[in-house]
Amino acid sequence: MTSPQADKVAAFRQLHAGGCFALPNPWDAGSARYLQALGFKALASTSAGFAWSTGRLDYHLTLEAVLDHLSLLCAASDLPVNADFEGGFAVAPEGVAANVARAVQAGVAGLSIEDRSAPGAGDPLLDPALAAERIRAARAAIDATPTGAVLTARCEAYLVGQGELKPTIARLIAYAEAGADCLYAPGLVADADIRAVVEAVAPLPVNVLAFDYSWTTQHLAELGVRRVSLGGGLARKAYADAMNAAKTWLDTGALSAMTAQPPMPFPKVFG
């Protein structure tokens, strides 16, 4: 008999095997259950969305808080959960490995490790060799478990102002060689650049962050993208809608902004 986590990992790996799937990002147990009820096949945590829900900025959460959050998401939903695990909450490869092992124990079906430097560092990106070694350490930590969890390697160049295609691709190729199962360079917006990344790391799957909301999943699939995620987009949208309604009420006294209802009744999701 397989474990629930093993079943989730198998389902998650199958989603990566072909086609293109939507990977929405809940920020709490309730949003995770709602997204499952809507019919999504997998979920991914959002470090930003979770941080906002605690009154903090992104990258201001502790490892323990994130591990507790991941356990909560995995318990709340029957779907595979991919962890936004930031930089592994360590710089040294051995620290990343130890923390990745703990994240896998939380029940995730996959996790991502990024190459962003710690705040205040001279270079916003880690040295490429060190970044690749960290992916290798994360791979070894996962392989030391029976889970087979999916390892996604992220190059943050476009998000930290170093968005050049050639060095980004070089990093992604190095991460693939270090053992990543999926590659991800959030911030790509040009079709040609996305296609170039897909071709450079083929046959490994590529995740694209929805940076251009005029895109469709179908369009990204035509570029060869295997999965599409929203990062903090859903949480940002939820906060914006709620706060805009609250501000309208405060400014005008009108409650009309509160008339919007969710697409299905709460009891069906939470009961």
Q: Alpha-carbon distance 245 to 261, whole Å?
A: 13
Which of 90, 81, 143, 144 lies closest to 113 in space, CA to CA? Answer: 90
Tell me: pLDDT of 29 over 90: yes
* Confidence category of residue 47, pLDDT binned at 50, 70, 90: very high
Express as a percent the part of the chain with pLDDT over 70.
97
- Overall average pLDDT of the 126-136 stretch: 98
pTM of the model: 0.95
Mode of pairing for the β-strands spanning 43-44 and 81-84? parallel
Mean local confidence (pLDDT), 26-43: 96
pLDDT at 195: 98
| Separation of alpha carbons 117 and 21, rounded Å | 30
Sort residue 19 into left (φ over 0), alpha (ψ -120 to 50) or beta: left
Angle at which helix 165-177 crosses helix 191-201, to 10 degrees, equals 30
Q: How confident is the model at residue 1 (pLDDT cuts 50, 70, 90)?
A: low
pLDDT class of 146 with cuts at 50, 70, 90: very high
Tell me what the mean pLDDT of segment 168-173 comes to: 98
> How far is C-alpha 149 from the chain's CA centre?
14
Q: How far apart are CA 98 and CA 89, in angstroms?
A: 10
Domains of the chain: 4-233 (3.20.20.60)
The angle formed by the CA atoms of residues 112, 216 and 12, to the nearest 5 degrees, is 35
Strands 21-23 and 227-229: parallel
Cis peptide before 4 (omega within 30 of 0): no
Q: What's the pLDDT at 257?
A: 84
